[in-house]
Amino acid sequence: MKLSARTSIAVPVTALASLLGVLACSTSTPPTTAPVSSEGAPSSSEGQPSPAAPTPTAAPSTLENAGARCAPPALPPIAQLQPIPTLPDPFLGDNGQRIGARSQWECRRAEIGAQVQEYEFGPKPPKPRIVTGALDGNQLRITAGEPGRTVNFAVDIARPPSAPAGSNVPALIVIGRSALGPVFADRGVAVITFDNNAMGAQGNKREGDTYTNTRGQGLFYDLYGKDHPASSMMAWAWGVSRVIDAIGSTPEAGIDVAHIAVSGCSRNGKGALVVGAFDERIALTVPQESGAGGTASWRISQAQMDEYRATVNPNPSGGQGVQTLAHATGEQPWFRASFADFGKTSADVNRLPFDHHMLLGMVAPRALFVLDNTDMMWLGADSSFTDAVAAAEIWTALGVQGAMGASQVGGHPHCTELPQAQIEELGAFIDKFLLEKKSANTSVLRSDRTTPDRAKWIGWNTPVLQ
């Protein structure tokens, strides 16, 4: 497969802070939210010597949500949110203070997650009391729920032919469908197929740009009720977490639960990012060509669409442009219903207290590799790459720069194949974070078209977190 003849714009991850024109903060600040002790009161280390900072690592957690021990922030109603015209500072806590230590990221991440759930995707319920798995040939049959009310579903597991019988192998969980499965399988990784539409339904297109309304439909809503505020993508995230639970309790499935990846493309790529952001057991997250609601920034996409209407095509029903929040919320129940309030006017998107560079950052310090196609205007390649550049600063601050990468290349079909260069880049991430080949080179942050407008969108400094 050939790459298109374009100029590649590469941003070395290790030098990203200087390229963004940011300076390390010279003073440390208190934590944004104190970790909560087992008794429920904030823990305190006042008067105690500070322990040495642990070595930075991109290893996944053994917990689905380690930040559950952090005190939740008090979140204002939408009407009280103040506009932020640039990408919000991911290091600025709910208490108005910036974090200054790696140990504070866990609770800052939990704050971001609380905002994302409250305003965009809806709440993700915790693990229910019942989650069981039973292997039936190449299917893992899963039961999840509470006493007297459970749902049943299954995932297909394709073990790589090269895997020895009885061995535990890393696995890729595919949201819906993806062309990336062979890249993982060729490296000895199992491929698990998750039916996201059965968990949280998506509508079919009727006439023009109108879709059937499927909000509240699917197995998740059979369990939690059709009026549950979680969006379909959060329902998918809940379902994948139950798959991981079942894998962990079904050793005969032969899956290495410490080395699990998740991926999907287009709408399923949006879902893959949400899944990876909200389950800390996932070692590698690979959203592909995900656009609005995925790796693109709501603010930047809106600005791009405003410019497109002003300079290219003023007809709201003509031309393609870039998908905005207002359009995406009307397409599918990917977001909670109230999220549409942020798209009533072009300026309303600025009231979001976060943007998707922070959703990307929720994966940190675990591994994230963003794949994009610059031929797809609708997906907002400029928006996605600028978002990725901003998000990479979180990994830089945490000292795990090589765990996050982004690659944008055009000249290939949407979601059906990758250029050889991206196959090799993805292979390096698989090697390092699923196969523990630490020498693999994962320093990639490049686009064949986009140069981020750093002065316009990134107005904060990146701290050096110790």
**Where is 144: in which H helix or E strand?**
strand 139-146
Active site residue 327: no
3-state class (DSSP) for residue 323: coil
Which of 249, 338, 346, 414 is an active site residue?
A: 414
**Where is 406: in which H helix or E strand?**
strand 404-408
Which of 232, 241, 263, 266 is an active site residue?
A: 266
- Sheet containing strand 139-146, strands side by side: 9-10, 445-447, 404-408, 367-372, 284-288, 255-265, 169-175, 190-194, 149-158, 139-146, 130-136
Rounded CA-CA distance 215/233 in Å is 11
Rounded CA-CA distance 246/235 in Å is 17
Give this prediction's pTM.
0.88
Rounded CA-CA distance 166/243 in Å is 20
- Distance separating the N- and C-terminal Cα atoms of the chain: 43
Query: Degrees (nearest 5) of the Cα angle 299, 429, 283?
Result: 75
Q: Which two tokens stand for residue 458?
A: 């990134």
Query: What is the residue-level pLDDT of the chain in tens, covering all 466 positions?
Result: 333 333 344 444 333 333 333 333 333 333 333 333 322 333 333 334 445 566 889 999 999 999 999 999 999 999 999 999 999 999 999 999 999 999 999 999 999 999 999 999 999 999 999 999 999 999 999 999 999 999 999 999 999 988 888 899 999 999 998 899 999 999 999 999 999 999 999 988 766 667 889 999 999 999 999 999 999 999 999 999 999 999 999 999 999 999 999 999 999 999 999 999 999 999 999 999 999 999 999 999 999 999 998 998 887 766 678 999 999 999 999 999 999 999 999 999 999 999 999 999 999 999 999 999 999 899 999 999 999 999 999 999 999 999 999 999 999 999 998 999 999 999 999 999 999 999 999 999 999 999 999 999 999 999 999 9
Active site residue 414: yes
Give the residue from 277, 247, 332 showing the smallest Cα distance to 114.
277
Give the residue from 144, 121, 120 showing the smallest Cα distance to 132.
144
Residue 423 near residue 461 (C-beta atoms within 8 A): no
Fold of the domain built from segment(s) 130-313+325-457: Rossmann fold (3.40.50)
The one-letter amino acid at 174: V
DSSP string covering 235-248, please?
A: HHHHHHHHHHHHHH
Cis omega before residue 316 (within 30°)?
no
